[in-house]
Amino acid sequence: MAALLRAQFRVFVAIMLRDMRTRFFGHGLGFLVAIAWPLVHILVLIVIFSLLGRRAPYGDSMTVFFATGLVPFMTFSYMSRFTMLSLIMNRPLLVFPAIKVLDILLARAILELLGSCCTVIFLLVIFWAYGIDFMPPDPTEAAFALGAAMLLGIGFGIVNGIIAMAVPTWVTGYMLITVVMYGISGILFVVDALPETLRYYLSFNPSLQTVEWMRSAYYEDYSSVLDKPYTIGCGVVSIFLGLMLERLVRGHLLINR
């Protein structure tokens, strides 16, 4: 058993090192770009909102309001997108008997999780350097919200990665879906300010739930649509569906590798 675990660990490390070297510039330092990419994305959007002179829909700080929406959504979006792309980018590795589809997916998910944590840390440091207080009154809830976003990102990434492996054009379809999700995840608006019917239907969007969860750590009594068990359930169910789907279509994926 110990030998099997060591072998599995070496497989994960090898895939992660390959991902780090091949994603940008063909060098391990290119992974810094993977960390900087969502960080710059978040900062650019905040700067744009500032230049537009928009007032914070909730609270006193426009920067904090938009950041609390962008951080969980971007974490979910980038994790699900790059976990999905991992199978397509690492398809040649499947010719090795020791490497399985799930090895590639889980190795990329771990790598994205580490990258997301680094992105959040760098964002906190940048805000601190500019005198912006981004520390939440309830750090535990903020950590749980970020963890829920990561869980959803991994789950959605696995499901869509399996689909994209079988149907490569699905990559474009999922990209379009994330664009729609960006607009309906409560990043730019307060969900409680919407009509009750619209609030009800939007509450089924799990990425919106992560945004509401994060903001609840910053603003007391912020959301009436927040459903933490539903959010965690969506992440767990998506991972289960991804694993089940991989099991059902494993033969097809290997034949078409």
pLDDT digit string, tens, across residues 23-82: 665 555 666 776 777 778 778 877 787 777 667 778 778 888 888 888 899 899 988 988
Count of structural domains, the chain: 1
Query: Which structural domain, as residue segments, surrounds residue 72?
Result: 2-255
Global pTM reads 0.87
Q: Taking residues 90-114, report their average pLDDT.
A: 80
CA 106 to chain CA centroid, Å, is 14
What does the mean pLDDT of the chain come to? 83
Residue-by-residue DSSP string for 5-63: HHHHHHHHHHHHHHHHHHSSTTSGGGHHHHHHHHHHHHHHHHHHHHHTTPPPSSSS-HH
The per-residue pLDDT for range 69-100, each reduced to its tens digit, is 888 998 999 889 888 888 788 777 777 777 78
Alpha helices in the chain (DSSP H): 2-22, 31-51, 62-89, 101-129, 139-166, 170-183, 196-202, 206-216, 228-255
Greater confidence (96 vs 145) lies with 145
Q: Which residue has the higher pLDDT, 17 or 161?
A: 161
Match 């699905």 to its residue by tokens. Answer: 170
